[in-house]
Structure 1
Amino acid sequence: MGLADIADGVTRQVESLGASVNETLFEPTVRLGVTGLSRAGKSVFITSLVANLLKRGRMPQLTALTDGTLRSVYLQPQPDDTIARFPYETHLAKLTGPDPVWPENTRSVSELRLSFRVKSKGLIAGLAGERTVHLDIVDYPGEWLLDLALMDKSYADWSENALARIQAQEGGADLAKKLSEADVSAPFEEPRAQELAALYTEFSRAAHLNGLSSGAPGRVILPGELEGSPVLTFVPLPMAERFSRGSFGREMERRYEAYKSQVVKPFFRDHFARIDRQIVLVDVLKALHRGPAAVEDLRNTMGDILAGFRPGKSRWLTSLLGGKRVERMLFAATKADHLHHTQHPQLAAITSALLEQAKSRADFSGAQTRAMAIAALRTTTEATITHEGRVLDCVRGRVEGRDKQVAFYSGQLPKDPSQVLTALQNGADEWNGFSVESQRFLPAALNLKPDEGPPHIRLDQAVDFLIGDKLR
């Protein structure tokens, strides 16, 4: 390396540090990661979030707005030329059109930048007047987030966990038997690997659609451009003390390690490790509807998510140098609009109880975490009906195949979340003393005022927790 190369490298480092100093001190950027589990509504959340920040008539619980600190919000060009821009305008048109429909699911990483003009406070208020804060919203599939838990797991540990999850699920006994009986010491043959991988992938994707986890890597569920590649053609196997060279087991172990190094690590390095705040959208109602096994699976998944994060509060100098940590994490139980408002506290309490269990197992400390019941887009109105002599608090909304709105009663959630936890601890097959029904509502037709974004439930409270401190 010549002197010019050394000088050039030093110059780049100084320029990078200077950019970091400028960003941290003058125009800070907050990176908000948005992900969700089992169709919890990431695209809808981001679309409604942006719309309601641009038109803030429905955001009374956003403190920076009510105290006059937040002056204006506007969309900026996508900051990273190599990452897809989140299709905000397309999704908003689908949700607010004359015949509204749900937007497509998230299938890859995308970003969007909002910029806030904020009134300065303290010593610099007289000099600076207003300052700019950027919010980069990073959207990525929740399935990929689960892979972060693999980084500390050996192939043996992962196989044991995955085989146990498959065995415990309905219809999984046959697949678990085939995988357990595989001859791990036989010479490796690609057709056999593809055959078993196809069975494992089919089972894992079906489990995912039912809101359950088979322990499969996220790209098995949502492969993208990796579909059919060797890095995804591996399965969990019973472990030998040591696989022999050239054996089937040895190649499966090698591909598992390649998946971690070639797929998971780059995702962590390029996207996940730069996130400051994180929201995880969770469909707790659907899990409750499916029973204790689905809720236990959800609780384990939340633990895996927490274990994958680098917990702790960023220090000023650490943040300046780029070593960021997630400072705040919100687990949001979505579809609160499927319940009458009188049951929202129960939904939040159950989510919080599941989160506390997950936090304990993951040893998550140093960051602020919270659970909340929200609806990024309210699709229903509330109603009270009489049915078989009982007065029921219901919701009304559009459902597919019906010309008129239908009234829906979800059941009564327990006021004490320990009733749910006790059922999980006892390995119960069904709930005792309560039941939960599920409904798929369509977006409601909207007639928005000029200063209003789409109707929601507690979206403003969620925003205030996640980024409110950066706007004051």
Structure 2
Amino acid sequence: MAFGDSLLGLARPRLRIGVTGLSRSGKTVFTTALIQNLIEGAKLPVLKAASEGRIARVRLVPQPDPQVPRFPYEAHRAAMNGRDRRWPESTRRIAELRVEIDYERAAGWFKGPATLTLDIVDYPGEWLLDLALIGQDYKSWSAQAVADARKPHRRAAAEAWLADLEKRDPGGPPDELAAEAASDVFKDYLARLRADPEAVAVTPPGRFLMPGDLEGSPALTFAPLDLGHDHEPQPGTLAGLMAERFEAYKRVVVTPFFRDHFARLDRQIVLVDVLAALDAGAPALADLETALGQALAAFSVGRNSWLSSLFAPRIERVLFAATKADHIHHSSHDRLAAVMSHLVGRAMGRAQGAGARVEAMALAAVRATHEVRIKQGREELPAIAGVPEAGEEIDGQVFDGVTEAAIFPGDLPERPEAIFDPKAHWQVRAPRFRPPLVEPDAGGRSKPPPQIRLDRALEFLIGDRLA
């Protein structure tokens, strides 16, 4: 880096934050709410620069990367407002938005006005999990995929693919039509997994279900084969062709994302719908734990591999956030955060050892409920109330999207280790609520929706850069 660039970095520091999430975790909502709370000057007491009155102005500036779509903040914000409010559609590609924060430095040699440039990079969680493929070969990936498909809770979704797998001869000729057919059946299996309402994690390769302009390309036309322990893919065979395509996927899809985007991030937040996993039971929790391990492995990719000399990740902080904290009473928030920490488990230690500071917490970027107490017999229970989306059903009652409902969401385990107890089932009644109706202030200006611990997430992600 040139000396002039260093001085420019001191005068106008820049921070790149990656935002991603596992299936249905509310990634688009989080990114939209984060930007809205900053721009509209919401009360963010845990973000010290805000609570101390040192943030002067926050503004959007033109998206600088001509090859990356701009995150459609205005459209998503509008979707969540007004009488016809709805949650925005999830994003299935990378998008970026640049925000500039004018603030007053608190102390030190450089005390005085400053500007922090914040680049927010929103990308699918599938792409993060794909990074784990860099450290795998075709044989190990195939073995893992086949073993996962044979697990009892996946057998229904995998039935057609497992039947097709038995017909494929790894040592057979490298037939293009056979490769296409095998790939199509495998992709159908992945689509069934994703469509399962209890699914909380995804199975790589992520681009199989969001191919974009690579649809039909050889890099996306392969599938696992049942190789066995002693069979190595040989050139001139179907297994050899599949192995070549697997390496092409890493070369054409995974490595460019790692090099051009992931390796340039400074901070990262990974959003997780832990409540859905708890409600789905032990198999879903095990899948989620595996996915989180793959996610953490991504933060070490490049440090001990051939990639390290060129583009090792520089990520300094990683936040794992259990979302939808508004779906439970505040008395259970610490338990939800403890479950999140437990699920990340030993993988957190690996990332910390690689130089990243890792934290876990529970939050709701948009709070769609408020707290009430309901009577059940002679007992009063802590409950939540909100407007379920039209068609949602609770205890046989189908809601119209207008009527508010109060529910007791259930209890979370006192000890996070108990989530894997095969005899226990942690039912969390969490219907899909509509976004809250937020009325303008007395001056007719719009206000950000209520949130839970979004300010704490911001303090972890950017607070030190606003000191």
TM-score strictly above 0.5: yes
2:256 maps to which of 266, 274, 277: 266
SS in 2 for 1:96: coil
Match of 1:202 among 175, 188, 210: 188
- Matched with 1:458 is 453
SS in 2 for 1:384: strand
Pairing 1:338–2:330 present: no
Relative to structure 1, the CA distance from residue 361 to residue 174 in structure 2 (aligned partners, 3 Å threshold; closer, same or farther) is farther
Structure 1 vs Structure 2: percent identity of aligned residues? 43
Equivalent residue, structure 2, for 1:248: 238
User: 1:133 aligned to 2:138?
Assistant: no
Is the 2:126–2:202 contact (alpha carbons within 8 Å) kept by the matching residues of 1? Answer: no
Paired AA for residue 445 in structure 1: L
Change in CA separation of 1:346 and 1:182 when aligned onto 2, cut-off 3 Å? same
In 2, the alpha carbon distance for the partners of 1:221 and 1:246 equals: 28
Q: Which residue of 2 is the match for residue 440 of structure 1? A: 432
| 8 Å CA contact retained: 2:129, 2:204 | no
Distance 1:409 1:374 in 2: 19
SS of equivalent residue, structure 1 residue 455 = coil
- Aligned pairs for 1:414-433 (under 5 A) are 414-421=413-420, 423=421, 428=422, 431-432=424-425
Q: In structure 2, what is the equivalent of residue 219 of structure 1?
A: 207
Q: Of the candidates 30, 34, 40, which is equivalent to residue 45 of structure 1?
A: 30
Root-mean-square deviation (Å): 2.3
Counterpart position of 2:110: 124
1:149 counterpart = 2:143: no
- The answer on whether the counterparts of 2:300 and 2:354 sit within 8 Å (CA) in structure 1 is no
Please list the CA deviations of residues 42-64 of structure 1 after superposition, one character each: whole Å capped at 9, or x if unmatched: 11111110110012233111111
Cα distance between partner residues in 2 of 1:218 and 1:323: 22
**What amino acid maps onto 1:163 in structure 2?**
V
1:64 corresponds to 2:49: yes
Q: Is the 8 A contact 1:99 1:445 kept in 2?
A: no
**CA 1:124–1:115: 2 relative to 1, 3 Å:** same
Q: 1:299, 1:358 within 8 Å by CA — same for their partners in 2?
A: no
3-state SS, counterpart of residue 110 of structure 2: helix
Aligned residue among 389, 396, 401 for 2:385: 396
- Counterpart position of 1:409: 408
**Change beyond 3 A, Cα 1:265–1:61:** same
User: 1: CA distance between counterparts of 2:171 and 2:51?
Assistant: 67
Give the one of 312, 317, 333 matched to 1:328. 317
Residue type matched to 1:406 in 2? Answer: A
Q: CA offsets per residue over residues 144-192 of structure 1, 9 Å max, x none?
A: 1111000010111111111111111231355234325420111122222
Which stretch has the larger CA shift, 438-447 or 42-51? 438-447
Q: Secondary structure at the match of 1:123?
A: coil
Question: Which residue identity does 2:293 align to in structure 1?
Answer: G
The match for 1:3 is none
Q: 1:469 aligns with which of 444, 464, 467?
A: 464
SS of the aligned residue for 2:219 comes to helix
- Is the 2:22–2:200 contact (alpha carbons within 8 Å) kept by the matching residues of 1? no
The equivalent position to 2:357 in structure 1, one of 368, 374, 399, is: 368
d(CA) in 2 for partners of 1:435, 1:461 = 28
Contact kept, 8 Å, 2:340 with 2:360, in 1: the verdict is yes
Size of the aligned set, in residue pairs, is 441
* Residue matched to 2:393: none
Work out whether 1:378 is the aligned partner of 2:374: no
CA contact (8 A) 1:311 1:326 kept: no
TM-score, length-scaled by structure 2: 0.89
- Measured against aligned partners, the alpha-carbon deviations of 1:335-355 in whole angstroms (never above 9, x if no partner) come to 011111111111111111111
Q: Point out where structure 1 has 5 or more consecutive residues left out of the alignment.
A: 1-15
The 1:46–1:65 alpha-carbon spacing in structure 2 relative to 1, beyond 3 Å, is same
- Amino acid in the other structure paired with 1:185: G
The match for 1:285 is 275
Name the counterpart of 2:396.
none
1:323 to 1:156, Cα distance in 2 relative to 1, 3 A: closer
For 1:40, what is the secondary structure of its paired residue? Answer: coil
* TM-score (norm: length of structure 1): 0.88
Does the 8 A contact of 1:237 with 1:249 survive in 2? yes
Whole-Å separation in 2 of the counterparts to 1:159 and 1:19? 49
- Matched to 2:457, the amino acid is A
2:263 touches 2:313 (CA, 8 Å); kept in 1? yes
